[in-house]
Structure 1
Amino acid sequence: MKVYKIICSAVTACLLFSFGSKEKVTTVKVKNVLNKERSLETVTLTKIFLNTNDLKNLGVRDKKTGKLLVTQLVDNDGDGTMDELLFQPVVAAKSTQEFEVLTVSDQEKPKSIDYCYSRFVPERTDDYTWENNKVAFRVYGPVAQKMIEDKVKGGTLSSGVDAWLKRVDYSIINKWYKKVVDKTGSYHEDTGEGLDNFHVGSSRGVGGIAVKGKEGYYFGKNYTEYKTITTGPIRTSFYLNYADWDADGNEIVESKIISLDYGSRMSKFETSLKGTKTIAAGLTLHEKKGKVTGNKKNGWVSYFEPIGDSEIGTAIVATKEYFCDFETYDTPKADLSNAFANLKVKNNKVVYYAGHGWKKQGDIKNVTEWENYLNQFSENINHPLVVSLTK
């Protein structure tokens, strides 16, 4: 009898322990209000939203299929504690889908590739370059600026944004710069992966900003400070600071966080500003052989032009909150002709997207497909996925 009681007590204790230690699962609902399937859009879950102090071991599971999704953790402030959990769901048209946030071991996590990558490039003056599986960009730093000011060959004086035209989904940044360092080739020549044949100079490139004054447009110089925030399978983001600059007598204070997500052609620019109520985000017109188009209702301006043996579309897109209108500034001065999206600064901040689609890459074959992409992108950012917790 005593043995029986001991065994029963042990079994009961095990069962109680099992139920008591049951893993906590938080269910998140993602709602798509549009009449189309949504994918390649990033959902961000914060510690506050999930009511947790630690995101480190969390993953996301599709409740319907039971499949674990690729996720990425982001430490925004560099304090060593993760602040955000990212994932990219697929949500059917006009539907709500549920996902479970739960503890996942490293062995259980789906294998992933860090398609979204960025870094400071000291071996090529001081570029800062970023990419995902579709596009790549770069900006120029203080050493490149000083070389121009000191009349040293090889510098660049510009706050414009350069477009790198890649046609492979894997990372090319380190490979292309290595060719230059090793003197085994040049990223200005396409050997099958793409190239940089996009001239920026003092233009706005793809998304550099300006402030309109009485005598034209004013803009700053190269970035002065950088900080990489994250790289990974879903997003890369980084911080840039600029020296204060003059715009027709007004001192402009500028810094920004730029991010690029997996599958997108558009980098997101979250720019902090003081000294102006509006800015103009620009697209270089190069030799003026292309066509400027825009859609005020959908909040975009585009320039589609020939480049090398192909064609490229560049664009600025913003939500209705920030987008005012667009215009073309045409001047005989070299590099200063740009198409501009005029944007409102709200609470010392403006948010817009800038990107490109290169015909030779394969996804965008003509101007119609490019403008369709912009309209779809605009619809998405103006109707973001709605994320909530189940009660």
Structure 2
Amino acid sequence: MAAPLAGAPQSAATPRFDPARLPDRAQVLALLDRTAAAQIAALKAQGLDLPTAHRQVTTNWISATFLIGLGRLTRVSDASGGRRYLRDVAEHYNFGLLGAWSAHNMLDADNLAIGEVYQELYARSGEAGEIAPLRARLDYTGQYLGVEPAPKQLVWWWADAMFMAPPVFARAAAQLHDHSYLTAMDAGWWRTYDRLWSKEHRLYYRDERFVGRRTAGGKPVFWARGNGWVVAGLARVLDTMPAKFPSRQRYVETFTAMMAALAPLQRAEDGLWTASLLDPEDPPGPETTGSAFFTYAMAWGINHGVLDRATWLPRVQRAWAGLAGKVQPNGLLGFAQRAGDQPVPSTASDHALYGSGAFLLAGLEVMDLGRPVITLPVAEPQRDPAGPARLPIALAPRPADPARIADWERAMAERQAMIDLAYDPATVAQAGAAPAGPDGVAMPKITLPLTPPPPDQRAARASVAYAPYRFDDLLWENDRTAHRIYGPALQREEPPSSSAIDAWGKHVPWPFMERQLKTGKQHDYHGEGIDFYNAGTTRGAGGLGIWYDDKLWVSRNWATYRILKNGPDAADFEVDYAPWPVDVVRKVWETRRFTLPVGTNFTRMVSTLHSDKTGPLVVGIGIQKKPTTTTAGTFTADRARGRFSLWTPTDADKGAMGVAVMVDPGQIADVVEDADNYIVLVRVTPGRPLVYYMGATWSKSRDFHDRATWDAYVMAQKPDFTPPR
């Protein structure tokens, strides 16, 4: 049993609310102020840190839920001192977010929940720096929410995520007037819905592990707080979603369906809900965190005209009376199930920061039940008047415990990582510029300009790099062109990714790919090059597969790699591709060597294929038909000379890409195409190396600005197709 929180003030008994009457607004506000003050006092007694304990304030989802509720409370009352406390916490953590230590944690919805706290402070201050790290994280995350096809492991794969991240994306769209955040959120939301929504029960499973799972009483497991996260997330998304957003009605319909499912599950004795919604005996007794979110959502629905007042008001009154009755003498909500992922028992002395946050959200909506309907979307809070200079909070002494020192140092490193990803004012001022590039070519608009390397590192150089921070990409580039292939981590994150070859444009002689990836906006132009070539699951710029039965059978992402030479005159590396099936007739596997010297646009490829069956193979080397637009590029084929090139349609801002493949004419069997690729077919004997070349350019590079000069360059090449001994 959890002990009362240290530092929480003990106070008089909680006022009782009559479940048959509309709660008195002033009385509700007094209770909310008391709970907020008690929670702040308890947190201040613990100090500010980055601990794993759930009762100390940090930037994780547990604290964020309380701080979200506190931020909403301070719009109407600051009796608790919440405004100063919110700013103290945000400034202590430098408006940062957890998760910078790995790509997977960068995508974790839990780490975005604190974002609404920063958005609330930004709404009141207008200081763009207060949401700069958040904006960078949203840009990083958003690109993964709608990848096609949907991966097996979604970014938002559990019900709790619906509270943590989507409302932050939706509010960012409103605050920054950038519709892309809402579009990304919408894609992610409905993918989660498709996986976790039960049409029969009109509720969410917590995650896919619980589909089909039963309680001790044989009932399906639907967790109260898991569904509470969802309905509260729906309300917060709809708070800021434009009235004419195309799928808005689906959100409303999901919300009302869940409310209808939850209504008959409300306990008659106290107006609350049990931890396991469909089995009140496993475990028995009330649970307040799910109940608080349900109360919030129902009251919100009445206040915004989404739910019928006459039908739902009696339920909200009963629920609020029951919730208020569970506030303990220390001012905090009891019976708050501890952090977890499924129903477990709770007791009167179980408190949680997210319980306090949910209680504040519920009470704030209950306060407005006597007011007219508030039209959606709701307006942002007004800016605060200029006040005295902000003072940093007094920090607890640096601990002597080595484990806590490590936490402290990790916090500093994480904050610095977020600063590196942020949009600082000096670079934002340059955004939108379209300077003249090489030969006077107009360059794309710049976002977040890269800082060039020191002068002594700006010479022409070839390089190869392994990028574990970007799902195991392998990057190689020289002074004229840049490429990457995808690794095992991306295969797990975004199946079915494959062995396509990606092509980037560049116009600086030094390496830039790693610095561009680390901006979190890899597809933008940052002043040195650009990635707007969409390789996807095609063959991209010269990837291969086995041609059998009029179909290309391709490997998955590389399995192992070896860097043989990392510049300066050449980038040279080798990868292995694990065995993959060719229909049901055989399996093949491959070792491939990539060599890109300085001064050329072509990478020499040496592919050695093996098979579990004897006999020759027909290999298809492909060029993606539509890598930059929905319109196919212009394809040129000279079978007699073994030269094949593509020039894409020109984008008004980003320009065009040129791609080419060179193969030994004596090995060519045919030139074909499928839905995605132009394909050169060559005959190969397993175990004998196949040598071919692939290359690319950008119309805004220093070398080629149109199709004619690119094609002329391709035709002038003198490739060596002699296989190594």
Aligned residues of 2:464 and 2:567 also touching (Cα < 8 A): no
Query: For the structure 1 residues 234 and 319, does the alpha-carbon distance in structure 2 shift closer, same or farther, using more than 3 Å as the test?
Result: farther
User: For residue 381 of structure 1, what is the amino acid of its counterpart?
Assistant: P
Aligned residues of 1:253 and 1:273 also touching (Cα < 8 A): yes
- 1:299 matched residue in structure 2: 642
- 1:340 matched residue in structure 2: 679
- Taking the aligned partners of 1:383 and 1:338, their CA distance within structure 2 comes to 23
- Taking the aligned partners of 2:660 and 2:672, their CA distance within structure 1 comes to 13
Which structure exhibits the higher relative contact order, with contacts defined as CA atoms closer than 8 Å and separated by 6 or more residues? 1
- Taking the aligned partners of 1:112 and 1:234, their CA distance within structure 2 comes to 14
User: For residue 516 of structure 2, what is the amino acid of its counterpart?
Assistant: W
Moved more, 318-327 or 265-274: 318-327
The TM-score with structure 2 as length reference comes to 0.34
Query: How high is the sequence identity, in percent, across the aligned residues?
Result: 25
Query: For the structure 1 residues 308 and 119, does the alpha-carbon distance in structure 2 shift closer, same or farther, using more than 3 Å as the test?
Result: same
- 1:119 matched residue in structure 2: 465
Aligned residues of 2:620 and 2:680 also touching (Cα < 8 A): yes
**What are the within-5 Å matches in structure 2 for residues 96-175 of structure 1?**
113=459, 115-149=461-495, 157-175=497-515
- 1:319 matched residue in structure 2: 664
CA apart distance, 1:215: 4.9
- Taking the aligned partners of 2:550 and 2:721, their CA distance within structure 1 comes to 38
Query: For the structure 1 residues 297 and 215, does the alpha-carbon distance in structure 2 shift closer, same or farther, using more than 3 Å as the test?
Result: closer
- Taking the aligned partners of 1:125 and 1:112, their CA distance within structure 2 comes to 27
- Taking the aligned partners of 1:323 and 1:115, their CA distance within structure 2 comes to 34
Long gaps (5+) in structure 2? 1-456
Tell me how large the CA RMSD over aligned residues is: 2.2
- Tell me the secondary structure at the aligned position of residue 244 of structure 1: strand
Query: For the structure 1 residues 122 and 279, does the alpha-carbon distance in structure 2 shift closer, same or farther, using more than 3 Å as the test?
Result: same
The TM-score with structure 1 as length reference comes to 0.61
- Taking the aligned partners of 1:303 and 1:158, their CA distance within structure 2 comes to 21
- 1:224 matched residue in structure 2: 559
Query: For the structure 1 residues 266 and 243, does the alpha-carbon distance in structure 2 shift closer, same or farther, using more than 3 Å as the test?
Result: same
Counterpart pick for 2:532 among 197, 204, 210? 197
Matched, 1:208 2:548: no
CA apart distance, 1:148: 2.7
- Taking the aligned partners of 1:307 and 1:216, their CA distance within structure 2 comes to 30
Counterpart pick for 1:255 among 588, 591, 595? 591
Q: Give the total of aligned pairs.
A: 255
Aligned residues of 1:292 and 1:328 also touching (Cα < 8 A): no
- Tell me the secondary structure at the aligned position of residue 603 of structure 2: strand
- Tell me the secondary structure at the aligned position of residue 708 of structure 2: helix
- 2:445 matched residue in structure 1: none
Matched, 1:266 2:266: no
Aligned residues of 1:300 and 1:341 also touching (Cα < 8 A): no
Deviating runs (4+, > 4 A) in structure 1? 111-114
CA apart distance, 1:114: 6.6
Long gaps (5+) in structure 1? 1-110, 150-155, 181-185, 332-336, 385-391
Aligned residues of 1:117 and 1:232 also touching (Cα < 8 A): yes
Query: For the structure 1 residues 311 and 177, does the alpha-carbon distance in structure 2 shift closer, same or farther, using more than 3 Å as the test?
Result: closer
Q: Which of the pair is proportionally richer in helix?
A: 2
CA apart distance, 1:278: 2.1
CA apart distance, 1:176: 1.3
Aligned residues of 2:692 and 2:721 also touching (Cα < 8 A): no
**Residues 262-307 of structure 1: CA deviation (Å, up to 9, x unaligned):** 1111111100102352201111012343111110111111111125
Moved more, 256-265 or 314-323: 314-323
- Tell me the secondary structure at the aligned position of residue 179 of structure 1: coil
- Taking the aligned partners of 2:519 and 2:593, their CA distance within structure 1 comes to 29
CA apart distance, 1:382: 5.3
Matched, 1:374 2:374: no
- Taking the aligned partners of 2:558 and 2:582, their CA distance within structure 1 comes to 17
Query: Which one has a bigger Cα radius of gyration?
Result: 2
CA apart distance, 1:315: 1.1
CA apart distance, 1:364: 1.4
- 1:353 matched residue in structure 2: 693
- Tell me the secondary structure at the aligned position of residue 211 of structure 1: strand
- Tell me the secondary structure at the aligned position of residue 490 of structure 2: helix
Aligned residues of 2:659 and 2:694 also touching (Cα < 8 A): yes
- Tell me the secondary structure at the aligned position of residue 306 of structure 1: coil
User: For residue 117 of structure 1, what is the amino acid of its counterpart?
Assistant: S
- Taking the aligned partners of 1:383 and 1:228, their CA distance within structure 2 comes to 22
CA apart distance, 1:383: 9.6
Query: For the structure 1 residues 167 and 277, does the alpha-carbon distance in structure 2 shift closer, same or farther, using more than 3 Å as the test?
Result: same
**Residues 118-172 of structure 1: CA deviation (Å, up to 9, x unaligned):** 01101111100000000000011111111234xxxxxx61110011111111110
User: For residue 658 of structure 2, what is the amino acid of its counterpart?
Assistant: G
- Taking the aligned partners of 1:375 and 1:319, their CA distance within structure 2 comes to 13
Aligned residues of 1:136 and 1:163 also touching (Cα < 8 A): yes
